[in-house]
Structures are given as C-alpha cells and as structure tokens.
Structure 1
Amino acid sequence: MKTEFEPTILAFVCNWCTYTAADLAGTSRMVQQPNVRLVRMMCTGMVDPKYVIKALLSGADGVLISGCHPGDCHYMNGNYKARRRVRLLKEILPLFGIEEGRVKLTWVGASEGNEFAATVNNFINEIREIGPMEARSMAIV
C-alpha cells in the first residue's frame, strides 16, 4: 500500500498581520490542513534567506513567507525588503537543487483569516504536486 506524500510547510509570518489572520482562521474554525508550522516574526523583512534554505535542507518541503500588504507594514518598508529578498532567493535556489516553487511570498492582512486558510491550503496542494524534496537527501546539514 502506497502512502500519500504529506508535505511539511514552515511559515514565517508577520506578527502584525499574517499571524493575527492565522489566529482568526483558527478561532473561526476555518478548514485548514495541519501541515504548517508557524514561526512568528516581527516583520517579514527579518526573514533571512539563510533561514529559508536551512529550513528546506533540514526537513521542510516548502516555506511560506507572509506579511502585511505592501504599504501597510508596521515597520514602513519591511515587506518591500522581503519581496526583494525572495526574488533573489528564487534565483539561487536552483543552485541548491531546490525548485523555486517551494518558496512562496504572500500578503495577508490581519482581518483576512479566510485568505490565510486558503493560502495555506493552496500552498500545501502545490507542494504535494511538486513532491518530496530530492535535494535534502544530498545535503550535509
């Protein structure tokens, strides 16, 4: 009997918006798959690309980075910084043998619990389609 691949997702989420949306989704009992582990950051601008690569090489099948909508950042320009970093990160991921689709950047506001649940569920399904990460088996962490 073949077991279906269940991806593990690590999500770096903004304290001010996406984490609040995740809490709203949970307290509102919105349907979410249980594959995501949240790491609450003060701002997505604090997410160093090294964290993302380390997560992928250490067991995560996908990494979601999610924060305030552009222009709504509590720290003025943190989400713009995150957007630039993710763009560059996606250019170097193939050097590590990692598909760029394993990293996703989204914007989810504090009142958008339904958007958070949909984002998580869609990303898990995208990672399921990609399959298990092959690069991890070759990595020395």
Structure 2
Amino acid sequence: MSECAVQRDSCCREPAELKIVAFLCNWCSYAGADKAGGSALPVPPELSVVRVMCSGRVEPTLVLETLRQGADGVMVLACHPGDCHYKEGNFRALCRAELLERLVVQLGVDPVRFCFDYVSAAEGEKFSRITCEFAARLRQLPPIG
C-alpha cells in the first residue's frame, strides 16, 4: 500500500471515492510526474493527469467546469518562474491561479479544492509529496456537490 493511502483514518473517504484532476505542464510538471513514477515514489491512485503544453493555457473556466462535473479537487502544476518553455506561460498561470483562489470562495467552493504549485522535471519527490498532501486534505472534506 502506498504512503498516500496509509495517511487516512477511519473518518476519511476511501481513495476510490475521490476524483482529483491535475493539469500538468508538458515540459516540467509532467516530466516531474514521470520521474516520480520512474523512482517508484507514491502518487495518489485517484489522481487523473491532463497533460497540457503549458500551464498558462489552463483557463479558469476549465478548472471551474472540472469541479462542477464532480472532481473533488483540481491541481495546476507549472514550470518554476523563469523556466517556462514559452517564456511567460507560468506567470500567466500564476495570475489565473490567484484569480481562481478568490473566485472559488465567492462561488461557495472550499479553496482547499484548488492547488497551484511549481514542479520541475527534476522534482519527482516534490510531485509525490504535493499530490499526496493534496489528496490527504481532500479526504478530510465531504464530497463536493
């Protein structure tokens, strides 16, 4: 059993009950996820990955629609500032994430359900850690809806 699955207690939902969608930048975050997998690091089994060419292309409406359609949580993982393959896509992603953090609260969605972070191609351990921590926080919440 993975470390991610072990971190829950009896009051929490089972992994099969969660739906987590992660939008990963092709050039950094997706490669970081691949490194985590290649290193056999724990990753939540309920995590569904959507590979995007750039995190800056993830529109806020896409995140909101993903939550509306039943995802318990959404992650957007970008390249570190200054490392974007498209020069400024990660800055655009950061601006959109800041907007989403304010918007989800106004829409009555717990802000814990959205996560934005930076993961490079070399950070498989960080990918494992933040995805497991995100899943653990979501397991503490009631189902969305």
Q: What's the TM-score once normalised by structure 1's chain length?
A: 0.89
SS at match of 1:110: coil
Identity of aligned residues (%): 39
Match of 1:22 in 2: 33
Q: Deviations for 1:15-37, whole angstroms, at most 9, x for unmatched residues? A: 00010011111121112220100
Match of 2:138 in 1: 127
CA contact under 8 A between 2:25 and 2:79: conserved in structure 1?
yes
1:110 pairs with 2:121: yes
Of 97, 111, 134, 1:100 maps to 111
Match of 1:91 in 2: 102
SS at match of 2:140: helix
Of 57, 77, 92, 1:81 maps to 92
Would you identify which runs of 4 or more consecutive aligned residues in structure 1 move more than 2 Å? none
CA contact under 8 A between 2:33 and 2:124: conserved in structure 1?
yes
Alpha-carbon shift at residue 93 of structure 1 (Å): 1.1
Alpha-carbon shift at residue 99 of structure 1 (Å): 1.0
Structure 2 Cα separation of the partners of residues 44 and 16 of structure 1: 10
One-letter code aligned to 1:8:
K
SS at match of 2:96: helix
Matched positions, count? 133
Alpha-carbon shift at residue 130 of structure 1 (Å): 2.6
**Aligned ranges for residues 56-71 of structure 1 at < 5 Å?**
56-71=67-82
Alpha-carbon shift at residue 96 of structure 1 (Å): 2.2
Match of 2:45 in 1: 34
